[in-house]
């Protein structure tokens, strides 16, 4: 089983500067995507003004001790800068990490964890090596066999809780070894041969058949509240330390630092976008493009002391991908007005320039008149009313003259209806012509 141990006791290879690199990368990506040129003085000023803000916060942050090194880490700076106001939920420290932290506003951390992965991927082959649990006491009878020792031991403990009417969600502390795994009162023993049957990966032999495991996996980190940064750091599972830091934490760090720096007197960088802060997606995009500088959980929680090689450990670098991080300096510092030596133009108390004049405000008639004056010849146009006579054709047949006029009577009797229908048809045709133009 994965053990809970001190995060940095044996590994000195943490790179806290990768956190500042990622912060600069996320910030620069946002500024460039917003249309700001890196040559813009405010661009560099923004980086430079955030660095002192972070240094000031680090001076009040809790220290973290690892081995012989004691100094604030990015984790305690994140608490001090107030990322809890941005990440208001328990967030996984890393991508696919087991441990989650809730950054509280009182400088403490609430922690919880996802389930530890218990191996259940070894198939059992009939007659081959296997693990077994055989426990009989009073009315308790447990007989299990499978290919994975800890899984069988935990399943045996689950069966024990079930048969003794105890809470089956309880998880024991298990002690695995080469040939034995102890979980509470249950022991799983490794057998070199004689597996009773064959069961595929992910299953065990129980009650004469292969069944899926049903035990409850233990949490990597139990639910704990109000921990100091040191306590929370000590609880991080070793398997999590090299996992990539959650980009949401990087985004929250740079957002809070930028927001606080922009509120300081004399700030001359770009304003903080209150309605559109830097997102975790933007931070993740930069780390994906620069995987060599992507920070890990170890980098985030390690002490970050000032050293000869890094005298300003909290300063954001000018170039996040440079071999050596150079802190951003203020481009406008110690500069003078290039026109300061020019003679000042003074127009006096009354330069007699006169008041500006404005054009007459046009009336509605003046605005519409050009339209009304269009095509003056059409103003007096009057259409003529055509008059027609219903045709009455005649036909001479067998010495008689036949006149066809029944249709005239029908048309005259329905004159109004036909007129209305024709008006409607021509109106619709005209409307379609106008709308299609």
pLDDT digits (tens, 9 = 90+) for 357-414: 888 888 888 888 887 777 677 667 666 666 677 888 888 877 788 888 888 888 888 8
Do residues 111 and 37 both lie within one domain? yes
Query: Tell me: the pLDDT tens digits for 250-269?
Result: 999 999 999 999 999 888 88
pTM of the complete model: 0.60
Q: Is residue 122 part of a domain?
A: no
pLDDT at 4 over 80: no
Do residues 79 and 99 both lie within one domain? yes
pLDDT at 6: 37
Rounded CA gap, 47 and 316, in Å?
A: 6
Do residues 30 and 110 both lie within one domain? yes
Do residues 234 and 191 both lie within one domain? no
| Residue where a domain stops, chosen among 254, 276, 301 | 301
Rounded CA gap, 22 and 38, in Å?
A: 17
CA dihedral 66, 70, 71, 77 (to 10 degrees): 50
Query: Tell me: the pLDDT tens digits for 309-330?
Result: 888 899 898 889 888 777 766 6
- Map residue 91 onto helix, strand or coil: strand
Q: How many CB atoms lie within 10 A of CB 368?
A: 11
Per-residue pLDDT averaged across 191-213, rounded?
Answer: 94
* Lowest-pLDDT choice from 28-32, 77-81, 140-144, 180-184: 28-32
pLDDT at 8: 38
Q: Is residue 190 part of a domain?
A: yes
Q: Is residue 170 part of a domain?
A: yes
Rounded CA gap, 119 and 152, in Å?
A: 10
Beta bridge partners of 204: 211
Do residues 252 and 287 both lie within one domain? yes
pLDDT at 223: 87
Do residues 38 and 164 both lie within one domain? no
pLDDT at 437: 65
- Of 36 and 256, the one with more pLDDT: 256
Residue 21 binned pLDDT confidence (cut-offs 50, 70, 90): very high
pLDDT at 147 over 50: yes
Q: Considering the chain, what is the average pLDDT of its residues? A: 86
Domain of 294? 17-115+221-301
Do residues 56 and 190 both lie within one domain? no
* Closest alpha carbon to 55 in 37, 71, 69, 31: 71
Cβ partners under 8 Å of residue 73, min gap 6: 16, 64, 229, 233, 300, 301, 302, 303, 304
Rounded CA gap, 269 and 45, in Å?
A: 5
pLDDT at 289: 94
| Residue where a domain stops, chosen among 301, 318, 334 | 301
Q: Is residue 41 part of a domain?
A: yes
Per-residue pLDDT averaged across 123-141, rounded?
Answer: 94
Percentage above 70 pLDDT, the chain: 89
Do residues 232 and 208 both lie within one domain? no
Residue 187 binned pLDDT confidence (cut-offs 50, 70, 90): very high
Q: Is residue 293 part of a domain?
A: yes
pLDDT at 244 over 90: yes
Give alpha helix (H) positions in 96-220: 149-163
| H-run or E-run covering 282 | helix 280-289
pLDDT at 335 over 60: no
Do residues 152 and 178 both lie within one domain? yes
Chain centroid, CA 32 distance in Å: 19
Domain count of the fold of the chain = 2
The answer to whether 17 and 51 are in contact (CB under 8 A) is no
Do residues 72 and 48 both lie within one domain? yes
Do residues 140 and 271 both lie within one domain? no
Residue 341 binned pLDDT confidence (cut-offs 50, 70, 90): low
Q: Is residue 335 part of a domain?
A: no
Do residues 61 and 199 both lie within one domain? no
The answer to whether 328 and 54 are in contact (CB under 8 A) is no
Per-residue pLDDT averaged across 220-243, rounded?
Answer: 89
* Lowest-pLDDT choice from 32-41, 111-120, 158-167: 32-41
The secondary structure of 7-40 as a DSSP string is SSSS-----THHHHHHHHHHHHHHHHHTT--TTS
| Residue where a domain stops, chosen among 275, 301, 327 | 301
Q: Is residue 346 part of a domain?
A: no
pLDDT at 297: 95
Q: Is residue 1 part of a domain?
A: no
């Amino acid at each position: 089983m994965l053990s809970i141990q001190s995060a940095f006791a044996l590994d000195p290879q943490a790179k806290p500067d990768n956190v500042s690199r990622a912060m600069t990368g996320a910030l620069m990506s946002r500024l460039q995507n917003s249309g700001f040129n890196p040559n813009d003085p405010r661009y560099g000023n923004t980086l430079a003004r955030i660095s002192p803000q972070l240094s000031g916060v680090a001076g009040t942050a809790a220290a973290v001790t690892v081995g012989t090194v004691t100094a604030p880490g990015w984790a305690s700076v994140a608490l001090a800068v107030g990322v809890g106001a941005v990440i208001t939920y328990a967030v996984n420290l890393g991508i696919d990490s087991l441990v989650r932290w809730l950054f509280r506003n009182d400088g403490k951390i609430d922690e919880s964890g996802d389930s530890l992965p218990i191996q259940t991927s070894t198939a059992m082959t009939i007659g081959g090596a296997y693990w077994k649990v055989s426990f009989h006491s009073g009315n308790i009878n447990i007989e299990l066999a499978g290919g994975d020792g800890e899984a069988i031991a935990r399943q045996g403990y689950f069966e024990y809780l079930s048969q003794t009417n105890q809470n089956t969600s309880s998880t024991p502390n298990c002690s695995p070894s080469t040939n034995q795994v102890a979980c509470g009162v249950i022991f799983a023993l490794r057998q070199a041969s004689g597996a009773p049957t064959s069961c595929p990966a992910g299953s065990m032999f129980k009650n004469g058949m292969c069944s899926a495991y049903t035990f409850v996996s233990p949490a990597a980190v139990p639910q704990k509240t109000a921990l100091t940064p040191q306590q929370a750091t000590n609880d991080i599972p070793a398997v999590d330390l090299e996992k990539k830091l959650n980009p949401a934490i990087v985004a929250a760090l740079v957002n809070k630092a930028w927001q606080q720096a922009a509120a300081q007197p004399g700030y001359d960088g770009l304003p903080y976008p209150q309605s559109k802060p830097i997102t975790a997606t933007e931070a993740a995009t930069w780390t994906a493009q620069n995987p060599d500088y992507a920070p890990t959980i170890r980098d985030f929680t390690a002490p970050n002391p000032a050293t000869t090689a890094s005298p300003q450990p909290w300063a954001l670098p000018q170039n996040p991908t440079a071999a050596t991080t150079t802190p951003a300096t203020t481009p406008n510092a110690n500069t003078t007005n290039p026109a300061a030596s020019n003679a000042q133009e003074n127009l006096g108390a009354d330069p007699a320039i006169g008041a500006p004049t404005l054009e007459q405000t046009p009336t509605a008639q003046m605005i519409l008149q050009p339209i009304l004056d269009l095509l003056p010849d059409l103003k007096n146009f009057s259409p003529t009313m055509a008059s027609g006579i219903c045709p009455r054709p005649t036909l001479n047949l067998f010495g008689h003259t036949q006149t066809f006029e029944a249709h005239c009577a029908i048309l005259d009797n329905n004159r109004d209806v036909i007129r209305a229908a024709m008006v409607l048809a021509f109106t619709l045709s005209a409307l379609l012509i106008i709308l299609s133009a």
